[in-house]
Every structure is written in structure tokens, then in C-alpha cells.
Amino acid sequence: MSKEQVLSNARIVLEDRIVSGSVLIRDGRIADISEGASRTGEDFEGDYLLPGLIELHTDHLEAHYSPRPGVRWLKIAAIQAHDAQVVTSGITTVFDCLRLGSDEDGGFQKGEMRSMADALAQAKEEGRLRADHLIHLRCEVSTSDVLEHYEDFQDDPQVRLVSLMDHAPGQRQFQTMDQYTLYYKTKRGLSDEAFAEFVERQQALSARYAAPHRTALARACTERGITIASHDDATVAHVEESIGHGIRLAEFPTSFEAAEASHRAGLSVLMGAPNIVRGKSHSGNIAARDLAERGVLDVLSSDYVPFSLIHAPFILADEVEAIDLPQAIAMVTATPARTVGLDDRGRIAVGLRADIARVHRHEGIPVVRSVWREGRRVA
């Protein structure tokens, strides 16, 4: 016997417009969308009915697992705490970032992230999770052991996204030494001499490993059909290199030039939702809102603040004239879904998964009132 439920009196956010009406859910899928009043079903009282948000890049699990330097929390407990926070932010699909490649800035030892992935699989199997969790491998290509770490995941079907990163000074995120000095020298409390030696080591590692590791990882992902992301592209040359590697997602470009070149080439340009909420980048790079105003912002990620993913689209719709709410919501639903090949979710449309968030917003910060994943209420 099929299971049905009706969500009524809602402002339904479709990809291209907002309609008032109701949604019929049958067996975990959207079965019908009706405009106009309905006397049956759960009354949304005029709240927004949104697709469940899709988070492609969050370091939040890492913060729960390693909440202090040198501290490792119980993996299942860390996963559950992370899961609870993302779901109550309206996120129904989350790509958990696992960092590969160990360096002086910390990182994790070989096998540690494999163990985390095993814990995620166990948590799913035991029915502990409310969101749908997939894996995003953040590969530091300038480390000596990143390929060795990747071997732990070469047969894991949970891996659906891989990003290629190089955080060496003078590269990508840190094009100038000013921000790098602030981020590393001050944070680590290094003397001038120790910092100079640190910079020299990082630059040497990048020169030796970045290019061959980037090529090897891109080839491996292409063979497996895994979506590849660039990270912190700064120049047109970086973008051209990314295109050559078959990259589909441009994460956090650090210049207007790179963002515009990526967008023109058909890559989805991703920026941080915290950047929208704060009005600026935490690392001193370009503001996401400026990209939105130029029409070259495609995807938002919560990065380090899960709730920012529901907050930022409303800010964009309020403050950027060329962006309405359906367009802004698409940046956290339909577009990320398409970018990584998830064609069964990300929109309110007949036949798709009933991943849905009920959001109240009169003015100011939105409130996530309820969340459903595949028709089951999870928050």
C-alpha cells in the first residue's frame, strides 16, 4: 500500500517562480504540485516550501572530529553531531569533506580518513543519520603522500566529488604573502627565521608534487566518473589547466578574472555562503556578492557555518537586484545537484525525491521549521 501525505498552504519555490499551493508526496517522491488552497494536509501557514539544500563543501565534520588541536572525538558521535546541525539548517544532502595529504599544517595520518568513511557507512547502515551523506575528498596535491591516501578510497562508492588543492604560498588562495603571513606566521607563532624556512619548504613541495599529483588524481577520477573540482584558481591559466583536467566545479576562485573565465567555460562557480553573510572573504579574497552582481556565481557552500547555506540565499534575493529568490535558492539546490550528477533531487518537481524544507521568513534571518528526506520527517 502506498503512503501519501499532503503539505498545503505553502509558498512553493520552483526553479523559475514561486507558487502558492500544495505538494502531494507518495512513497517518498513528489507525486503532484497543485496551485491554490487545499483543505487537507499539513498546513504550512504560508511558509516557504523549498527543495532540501545540497551542500557540496563543508569542513564541519572535521571540526566535530578534531574540536581542539591534538583532540580526536569518537567518530560516530562526531558524525551524529554534524548530521544534526546540517539537517536543522535545511540540508538534506551533504558532501562531507575528508582531507587527504599530511603536512606541517596538521592534516591526518594515512588511514584516519578511511576510518572516518567507514564510520559514516556504519552510521548510515545503523539508521543514525537524517541527511544523505556522501564524500568529498579534499586532496592537497602539494603533499608527498596524497596519492597514497587516495588509494584508501579508490573503490569507495561514497566518493562523489574530489577537489584538487594547493595551499602553498604564492599559489591560488595565497597569491600574496600578506595573507599567508597573517594566516600561518601569526597563527603558528613562528619567528621570522622559522617562518622563512616554513615557506621555503612549502614552495619546494608544491614545485615537486603539485603538477604530477593533480594530473594523476584527475585521471583517476575521470576513469571512475567522479566529479572534479578545482580550488582557489587565481588566473586564466589556472582555469585553462582545470578545463584540461575535466573539472566541472570551480571552488572559491580568488580573482574576478578566474571566476568569469570559469563561468564562461561552463564550470559551476562555487563560493562560500559565509562570505555572503559577512560581506567579505575570511582570507581577504574577492567577495561572493560581487560575483553574484556580475552574474558569475552559480553555487554556494556553507564551508564552515552550516546555517549560512539557508541564510545567504535570502540575503542575495534581498540585496542583489538581478537575483530573485528562486534563482538564489537554485544556488543551494538545483545547480549543485546538476553539477555532481544527482538528477533525482534539488528541485520541487514531480517524480523527484521528496527532500523538502519548511522555512519561515517574514524578515531577517530565516527559520527552518521542518525538514523531510524522501518523504520522512527528519527535523
The dihedral sign for the CA sequence 323, 326, 327, 331: positive
Three-state DSSP class for residue 160: strand
Residue 180 lies in a domain: yes
CA distances (Å), origin 148, targets 102, 156, 205, 220: 11, 15, 16, 13
Please state the length of the chain.
379
Distances in Å between the alpha carbon of 15 and those of 18, 117, 268, 326, 358? 8, 33, 17, 5, 16
Cell of 108: 591526518
Q: Which residues of 188-215 are buried (b: 16+ CB within 10 A; e: fewer)?
A: eebeeeebeebbeebeebbeebbeebbe
Give the torsion through C-alpha atoms of 97, 138, 168, 297, to 10 deg.
-80
Contact 10, 49 (CB under 8 A): yes
Q: Is residue 341 part of a domain?
A: yes
Burial of 312 (0-12, 13-18, 19+ CB in 10 A): buried
Strand 18-26, strand 4-13: pairing = antiparallel
pLDDT of residue 176: 55
Q: Is 298 contained in some domain?
A: yes
| φ, ψ at 326 (rounded to 5°) | -55, -40
- The verdict on residue 11 lying in a domain is no
CATH number at residue 83: 3.20.20.140
Q: Is residue 285 part of a domain?
A: yes
Q: Determine, yes or no, domain membership for 108.
A: yes
- Give the helix, strand, coil percentages of the chain, each rounded to 5: 35, 25, 40
Greatest alpha-carbon pair distance for the chain in Å reads 73
Residues 315 and 328: their CA atoms lie apart, in Å, by 9
pTM comes to: 0.91
Q: What is the pLDDT along the chain (379 residues), one digit of tens a residue?
A: 578 999 999 999 999 999 999 999 999 999 999 998 777 899 999 999 999 999 999 989 989 999 888 899 999 999 999 999 999 999 999 999 999 997 665 567 788 999 999 999 999 999 999 999 999 999 999 999 999 999 999 999 999 999 999 877 765 555 555 666 656 666 666 677 777 777 788 788 888 999 999 999 999 999 999 999 999 899 999 999 999 999 999 999 989 999 999 999 999 999 999 999 998 665 557 899 999 999 999 999 999 999 999 999 999 999 999 999 999 999 999 999 999 999 999 999 999 999 999 999 988 999 999 999 999 999 9
Residue 43 phi, psi dihedral angles, 5° rounding:
-80, 115
Q: Provide the pLDDT for residue 37.
A: 75
C-alpha–C-alpha distance, residues 25 and 19, integer Å? 17
- Note whether residue 306 is domain-resident: yes
Q: Is 82 exposed, middle or buried (0-12, 13-18, 19+ CB in 10 A)?
A: buried
Per-residue pLDDT at 119: 98
How many Å apart are CA 327 and CA 274, to the nearest integer? 18
Per the structure, the count of domains in the chain is 1
- The answer to whether position 241 is within a domain reads yes
Give me the domain span that covers residue 74: 52-345
- pLDDT value at residue 106: 58
